[in-house]
């Protein structure tokens, strides 16, 4: 049913247009997301209150500040919306728009509210995306982007920019806790329905490492299947061990009858059977047991899909709070096995110069992902070892300046900083930005290779103790450059070794073991990605390089 028809039904039955949901949102606030001026005018004329505040004190204009909608801001102002209403944090709509970096609507609101200036440096903000560039043979980086007068100030601005840099506000922390509670409750219920699928939920990815940039809108969770982990054994062979692949078998092939329909003829665990059943249970709970998470500050909008050949279930939730409004949150749910203290024999623990026993104790993740049939291992039921627990531990143990450098490296890929490029006019892909060819995992491994290279590892401790606070942004910028220089070096070689599994190439591993395509097709794909990655690296390095000292000089200045 169309929105206009729903509005007509409201009018015909004289419905209460100011009724609220659990977050205090009225139908009028809910309609703002569609940015339909005529429909909003109809609601106002029918009695909708354009100053009604939700449970956080946010008015419709606060929501417009989030959506950065100039036309709707004008409609609300003309309808009598109060531009000076404050939310529970003491922010009026203009204050919120500035904090978000939504300058278009802020400039409209500032003319009507008591605040009369944009006092922040908003040269880099979420509402100012770079113009797309069309690639040709005369492509010259210097003609595309000009270095800022003060690249160190640029470093600070990027890290502090809402939606681009670190999400450091208290509400972001609440989002993290809420989505973890949501997944944990679902998994607890799954365990009561089918005890074989009892699981322990572990957060993964950037939220686990505390290296998230941008809005808190993407989360990864690993659901460790405790019972399956206890009844299975892992077997390695030299032919595939070095690539982080492992075979999984039932321990007791005679007595554990209830697991037999999850295994192949040779009693090896069938990843597809297990993950499909887990996803089936997850769907059942999320669609039929809504009361177990109804008290949480989130909404489920019926978006739930399997992600191709990966053992991943993707869910989209909606968050509404004081700062983030109608924020779409994507959750990737990955079922896995986990054996205490078990790691692939080829894992390089000695690559880290400090004690990692705490990380080793818990063991790695065994993802329910099989090799593609086209690979030389296609006839075997192999699963992939994820070293994420070790990587998370090491990243969180790095000095703050290096973690900030990693965050900045990820932020530099944003279209607010680095322009998207159309390499082929016949290419209709939506994602033409740097993130399409430079993944966070590439940057993470480049950081580890750089931080623990012989040249710099001996000076790691001094990086914190001797650092002058007024030069911190410069050191963050220089380390970010070093991350990209390292990535550039490996890109030219077309081989970025996973830091703890040196025989695994970050650039190609996922394609080789999941895509069932020819070697020739993969080669063309990798060559094209290599070219594009090098171009983006050059663009990203350019604005950070001005007025920079040699990295060796930086070492002498701070660490000698």
CATH number, domain of 338, equals 3.30.460.90
Question: Using CA atoms, how far apart are residues 410 and 526, in angstroms rounded to an integer?
Answer: 21
Verify that 84 and 192 share a domain, yes or no: no
Q: Are residues 217 and 324 in the same domain?
A: yes
User: Quick check: 304 pLDDT over 60?
Assistant: yes
**124 domain-assigned:** no
Any domain includes 232 = yes
Whether 457 is covered by a domain: the verdict is yes
Asked if the model's pLDDT at residue 422 lies above 50, the reply is yes
Angstrom distance (rounded) from CA 73 to CA 57? 18
Considering only CA atoms, which of 146, 135, 67 is closest in space to residue 104? 67
Contacts 24+ apart (CB under 8 A), 178-184: 178/296, 178/297, 178/298, 178/319, 179/219, 179/298, 179/317, 179/329, 179/331, 180/221, 181/293, 181/296, 182/293, 182/296, 182/298, 182/317, 182/331, 183/221, 183/223, 183/331, 183/333
Chain-centre distance for alpha carbon 533: 20
Q: Are strands 421-422 and 133-134 parallel, antiparallel or unpaired?
A: parallel
The residues, ordered by sequence, that sit 6+ positions from 272 with a Cβ below 8 Å of its Cβ are 368, 370
Phi-psi region of 249 (alpha: psi -120 to 50; beta: other; left: phi over 0): beta
Nearest residue to 477 (alpha-carbon basis) of 394, 552, 556, 402: 402
267 found inside a domain:
yes
Q: Which of 2-16, 379-393, 398-412 has the weakest average pLDDT?
A: 2-16
Contact 6, 14 (CB under 8 A): no
Looking at residues 321-334, what average pLDDT do you find? 96
212 shares its domain with 360:
yes
Question: The domain containing residue 245 runs over which residues?
Answer: 170-391
Pick 247 or 463 by higher pLDDT. 247
| Local structure of 321: helix, strand or coil | coil
pLDDT, tens only, 87-146: 999 999 999 999 999 999 999 998 766 655 665 444 688 888 888 888 876 666 666 666
- Whether residues 200 and 348 share a domain: the answer is yes
To the nearest 10°, the Cα dihedral for 148, 153, 156, 162? -60
Q: How far apart are CA 284 and CA 493, in angstroms?
A: 47
Looking at 346, 375, 391, the residue that finishes a domain is 391
Report DSSP letters for 451-501, one per residue.
HTSHHHHTTTTHHHHT--GGGHHHHHHHHHHHHHHHHHHHHHHT--EETTE
Indicate whether 300 and 324 sit together in one domain.
Answer: yes
* C-alpha span between 67 and 436 (Å, rounded): 25
Question: What pTM, to 2 d.p., does this model score?
Answer: 0.89
- Reported as a pLDDT band with limits 50, 70 and 90, residue 217 is very high
pLDDT digits (tens, 9 = 90+) for 429-438: 666 899 999 9
Answer whether residue 460 shows pLDDT above 60: no
Domain-terminating residue out of 391, 417, 435: 391
Single out the residue of 473, 378, 440, 527 nearest to residue 160, CA to CA.
473
For residue 512, what pLDDT is reported?
A: 61
Residues 270, 141, single domain; the answer is no
Domain membership of residue 12 (yes or no) is: yes
* Gap between the Cα atoms of 277 and 274, Å rounded: 5
Same domain, 405 and 347: no
Pair (196, 71) in one structural domain: no
Check which CATH number belongs to the domain holding 49 and give it.
Answer: 1.25.40.20
- 529 within a domain of the structure (yes/no): yes
Q: Is residue 211 part of a domain?
A: yes
Give yes or no for a contact between 113 and 84, defined as CB atoms under 8 angstroms apart.
yes
């Amino acid at each position: 049913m169309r929105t206009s028809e729903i509005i007509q039904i409201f009018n015909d039955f004289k419905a209460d247009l100011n009724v609220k949901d659990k977050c205090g949102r009225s139908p009028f606030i809910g309609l703002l997301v569609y940015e339909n001026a005529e429909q909003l005018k109809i609601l106002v004329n029918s009695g909708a209150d354009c100053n009604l505040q939700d449970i956080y004190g946010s008015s419709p204009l606060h929501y417009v500040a989030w959506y950065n909608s100039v036309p709707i801001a004008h409609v609300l102002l003309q309808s009598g919306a109060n531009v000076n209403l404050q939310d529970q944090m003491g922010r009026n709509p203009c204050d919120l728009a500035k904090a978000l970096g939504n300058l278009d609507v802020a400039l409209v609101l500032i003319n009507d509210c008591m605040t009369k200036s944009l006092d922040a440096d908003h040269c880099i903000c979420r509402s100012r995306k770079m113009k797309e560039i069309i690639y040709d043979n005369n492509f010259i980086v210097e003609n595309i982007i000009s270095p800022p007068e003060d690249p160190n100030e640029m470093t600070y601005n990027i890290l502090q920019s809402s939606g681009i840099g670190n999400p450091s506000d208290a509400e972001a922390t609440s989002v993290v806790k809420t989505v973890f509670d949501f997944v944990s409750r679902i998994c607890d219920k799954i365990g009561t329905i089918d005890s074989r699928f009892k699981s322990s939920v572990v957060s993964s990815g950037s939220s686990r490492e505390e290296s998230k940039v941008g809005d808190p809108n993407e989360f990864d969770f690993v659901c460790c299947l405790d019972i399956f982990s206890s009844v299975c054994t892992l077997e390695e062979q030299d032919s595939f061990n070095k690539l982080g692949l492992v075979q999984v078998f039932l321990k007791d092939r005679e007595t554990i009858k209830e697991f037999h329909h999850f295994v192949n003829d040779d009693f090896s665990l069938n990843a597809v059977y297990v993950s499909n059943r887990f996803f089936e249970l997850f769907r059942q709970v999320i669609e039929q047991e809504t009361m177990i998470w109804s008290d949480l500050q989130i909404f489920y909008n019926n978006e739930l899909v399997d992600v191709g050949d990966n053992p991943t279930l993707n869910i989209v939730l909606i968050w509404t709070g004081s700062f983030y409004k109608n924020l779409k949150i994507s959750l990737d749910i990955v079922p896995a096995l986990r054996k205490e203290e078990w790691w692939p024999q080829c894992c390089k623990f000695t690559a880290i110069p400090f004690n990692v026993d705490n990380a080793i104790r818990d063991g790695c993740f065994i993802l329910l992902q099989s090799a593609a049939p086209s690979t030389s291992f296609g006839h075997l039921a192999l699963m992939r070892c994820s070293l994420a627990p070790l990587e998370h531990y090491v990243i969180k143990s790095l000095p703050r300046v290096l973690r900030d450098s990693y965050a900045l490296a990820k932020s530099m890929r944003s279209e607010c900083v680095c322009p998207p490029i159309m390499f082929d006019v016949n290419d209709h892909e939506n994602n033409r930005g740097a993130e399409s060819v430079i993944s966070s995992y590439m940057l993470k491994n480049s950081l580890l290779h750089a931080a623990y290279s012989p040249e710099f590892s001996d000076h790691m401790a001094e990086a914190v103790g001797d650092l002058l606070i007024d030069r911190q942004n410069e050191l963050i910028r220089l380390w970010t450059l070093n991350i990209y220089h390292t990535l550039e070096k490996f890109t030219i070689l077309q081989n970025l070794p996973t830091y703890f599994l040196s025989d695994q190439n970050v650039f190609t591993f996922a394609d080789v073991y999941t895509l069932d395509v020819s070697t020739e097709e993969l080669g063309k794909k990798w060559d094209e990605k290599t070219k594009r990655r090098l171009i983006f690296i050059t663009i990203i390095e350019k604005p950070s390089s001005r007025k920079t000292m040699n990295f060796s000089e930086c070492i002498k200045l701070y660490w000698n």
